[in-house]
Amino acid sequence: MTPSVHADTEETRYGRFMDWKLFARFLTYARPYRRWIVAALLFLPVGALIQMAQPVLIKQAVDHHLTTGKMEGFPLLLLLFALLVGSQFLVGYLQSIINTVLGQRVVRDIRKHLFSHLCFMDAGFFNHQTSGRLTNRITSDTEAVSQMVSSGLVNLTGDLLLLVGIGGSMVWLAPNLSLVTLLAMPVIVIGTVMITRKMRTNQRQGRLLQARMAGRMTEEVEGAEVLRLFRCQENRRQQFGKINQEFFDTVLSSNFLEALQFSFIDAASTITIALLFWYGAGLVEQGEVTIGTIVAFIDYIRRIFFPIRDLSGKFTTMQAAMTALERIFSLLDTPAAISDPPHPLPLPVFRGEIRYVHCDFGYGETLVLKKIHGTIAPGEKVAIVGPTGAGKTSMVKLLNRIHEPTQGEVCIDGVPVNHYPLRVLRKMVGLVQQETFLFAGTIAHNISLNDPSISRQDIHNAATESGAITFIERLPLGIDTILAERGGNLSAGERQLLGITRMFAFNPAILVMDEATSSVDTISERMIQQALKRLMQHRTALIIAHRLSTVRHVDRILVLAKGMIVETGSHDELIAKNGVYANLYALQFQGETQGNRI
């Protein structure tokens, strides 16, 4: 049966205990550790034999020593029993260690594969995924797989082996007495299955709610400033509280069912033992079994009910792992829409010529760019302007293959960009965004991004070129100063200067600037404009501009409207045309004048 995914919950509804295709694929991750698997499996029959032998020794002790009063050989029997108990402890301990190490190593490899896969996914993929769900894949889903290995898969095999061994031992000791246990089994199995099914439903719901809580928490951290500015804390608190309460109720229900399951099996074992006494007493009176056999059967029943109880728990663990594996492999099977070409070109020396050849681009069926065509010469400084939604940002995202054109192609130095390795392309096309993203770590790390080709001297030189060295040298540890997450201990202007410093360090041939001074104060803007002016020297530059006063001195201006280039020329030429650009400039100039009067 092919697993189906529920649209709302992303949970797989399995009709069977095991999906063998998923399991076979999982085994590819376990194969490198086959020696550990063999070691774990070898311990299973040893552990089963130890447990099967102990009641036999108890029978011998009762029949030959305790009921007859003959103590000759009894100490040796006790010593043998103690050795079996010690061996059981040692085998169980070693088996637990092996299972745990095996589970963690397999999950470490799966987690590494998942993260590596996500690192190379395209931007469009993340636009359709929530961070909470992706985080759950790497955390809770992989942990469910770990539980399957460490406490489910091998132990499940051991429990089944123990059940068969104990059943065989009981039949061998007293076939007629073993009927009592066999009659109780259907009741126990039916009751356990009914409870387990409800537990599986609760578990699916719990995993969904857990993912939702993770998503809410991520939004709370990433949107903290907005939530506080608009006083949304109380509303968010209530929403999270509702999900948290649902999760609490679901987990509590699962705990109640688990307690019911254990109590049911304990009660069933007690009733079975009572029936064993009643039926066994008659057999003892008739001389068909001994008292020692009755005692051994009681011990066997105790031992056989523990695996039965554990089997239901391991059944739930296996189901959770199958669900987790389906989600994990579904993510791993999602291909990146943008990837390296099969035969990438050797590392070129970029001149910086850009050519758009009749490019269309859209999100779904809605076109954002239409028939974008034209050439930007090496070293030319070109501004891209237009009203909101005209496609300015989309146009530059085609250049570094954040997105692919749906029609046409983009070329650098006469070669389509999809012929270059992504690593090379994106290193040669630098981007200064409206807000520079900084990572928790040192200033040096944030400038070089741990690129081994960028030395500490390169970092220092880049900071000097950008002017960031002025504030860096005032910090206690200079470029080794630790930054808070997102650079929270720096001003907006300082963060932008570090972004520009990063570009100096990477030294791209083509520079894209997406309104790099829009979020800083006037004093910082002057420093940043000076740094950008130095950065643009001897480079091809594309400047996305909303404030038209900042692009008056570029070589050329492209005017976009409704996804098309409608005008091109210098500032003075476009003003003289009295077209779209002139109207935009007049509106902005009028707005700025009114703002100054206020």
What letter represents residue 397's amino acid?
Answer: K
501 phi, psi to nearest 5 deg: -60, -40
- The reply to whether 263 and 384 lie within a common domain is no
User: End of a domain among 332, 366, 399?
Assistant: 332
Q: Give 517's pLDDT tier (boundaries 50, 70, 90).
A: low
- The reply to whether 235 and 326 lie within a common domain is yes
Give the Cβ contact number of residue 241 at 10 Å: 11
Q: For the chain, what percent of residues have pLDDT higher than 90?
A: 18
Residue 3 lies in a domain: no
Residue 6 lies in a domain: no
- The reply to whether 311 and 421 lie within a common domain is no
Residue 343 lies in a domain: no
Residue 75 lies in a domain: yes
- The reply to whether 411 and 327 lie within a common domain is no
- The reply to whether 511 and 479 lie within a common domain is yes
User: Region 384-390: what's the mean pLDDT?
Assistant: 88
Closest CA to 558 of 584, 522, 539, 587: 584
Cα separation values, 136 from 22, 83, 111, 282, Å: 19, 46, 11, 59
Residue 5 lies in a domain: no
Residue 344 lies in a domain: no
Residue with tokens 């059943």: 167
Cα separation values, 366 from 293, 362, 410, 435, Å: 80, 5, 20, 28
Q: Give 597's pLDDT tier (boundaries 50, 70, 90).
A: very low
pLDDT tens profile 55-84: 888 888 888 888 777 888 888 988 998 999
Residue 194 lies in a domain: yes
Q: Which domain holds residue 199?
A: 16-332
Radius of gyration of the chain (CA): 35
336 phi, psi to nearest 5 deg: -70, 130
**Rounded distance between C-alpha atoms, residue 322 and residue 486, angstroms:** 37
- The reply to whether 38 and 116 lie within a common domain is yes
pLDDT at 302 over 90: no
pTM exceeds 0.85, yes or no: no
Q: Residue 382 has what pLDDT?
A: 93
pLDDT tens profile 97-138: 888 888 889 889 999 999 888 888 877 777 777 666 787 788
Q: Residue 523 has what pLDDT?
A: 56
- The reply to whether 172 and 58 lie within a common domain is yes
Comparing 122 with 86, the larger pLDDT belongs to 86
User: Region 356-364: what's the mean pLDDT?
Assistant: 89
pLDDT tens profile 518-552: 555 555 677 888 888 888 888 999 998 877 877 88
Closest CA to 539 of 512, 569, 499: 512
- The reply to whether 430 and 289 lie within a common domain is no
pLDDT at 266 over 60: yes
User: Region 245-262: what's the mean pLDDT?
Assistant: 85
Reading the block at residue 209, the tokens are 């709610």
Counting the structural domains of the chain, the total is 2
* Secondary structure letter of residue 65 according to DSSP: I
- The reply to whether 323 and 361 lie within a common domain is no
User: End of a domain among 297, 332, 367?
Assistant: 332
In contact, 447 and 479? CB cutoff 8 Å: yes
- The reply to whether 302 and 363 lie within a common domain is no
- The reply to whether 86 and 221 lie within a common domain is yes
Residue with tokens 């092996």: 98
**Rounded distance between C-alpha atoms, residue 396 and residue 567, angstroms:** 17
Q: Give 5's pLDDT tier (boundaries 50, 70, 90).
A: very low
Residue 4 lies in a domain: no
What letter represents residue 452's amino acid?
Answer: P
374 pairs with which residues across the strands?
Answer: 356
What letter represents residue 28's amino acid?
Answer: T
The runs of H, that is alpha helices, within 6-130 are 20-30, 34-61, 74-119, 123-127
- The reply to whether 373 and 326 lie within a common domain is no
Residue with tokens 């979020």: 519
Q: Give 3's pLDDT tier (boundaries 50, 70, 90).
A: very low
pLDDT at 276 over 50: yes
Q: Minimum mean pLDDT among 165-179, 242-256, 260-274, 584-598: which range?
A: 584-598
399-436 CB burial, b ≥16 within 10 A, e <16? bbbbbbbeebbbbbbeeebbbbebebbbbbbbbbbbbb
Give the Cβ contact number of residue 68 at 10 Å: 9
CATH code of the domain in which 190 resides? 1.20.1560.10
User: Region 554-558: what's the mean pLDDT?
Assistant: 92
The 8 Å CB, 24+ separation contacts for 177-184 are 177/276, 177/279, 177/280, 177/283, 177/289, 177/293, 177/294, 177/297, 178/297, 180/272, 180/275, 180/276, 180/279, 180/280, 181/272, 181/276, 181/297, 181/300, 181/301, 181/304, 184/268, 184/271, 184/272, 184/275
**Rounded distance between C-alpha atoms, residue 328 and residue 322, angstroms:** 10
CATH code of the domain in which 408 resides? 3.40.50.300
User: End of a domain among 302, 332, 362?
Assistant: 332
**Rounded distance between C-alpha atoms, residue 436 and residue 513, angstroms:** 11
512-541 CB burial, b ≥16 within 10 A, e <16? bbbbbbebbeeebbebbeebbeebbeebbb
Helix (H) or strand (E) holding 378: none
**Rounded distance between C-alpha atoms, residue 437 and residue 376, angstroms:** 28
pLDDT at 356 over 90: yes
- Plot region of 352 (φ>0 → left; ψ -120 to 50 → alpha; else → beta): left
Q: Residue 593 has what pLDDT?
A: 47
Q: Give 18's pLDDT tier (boundaries 50, 70, 90).
A: low
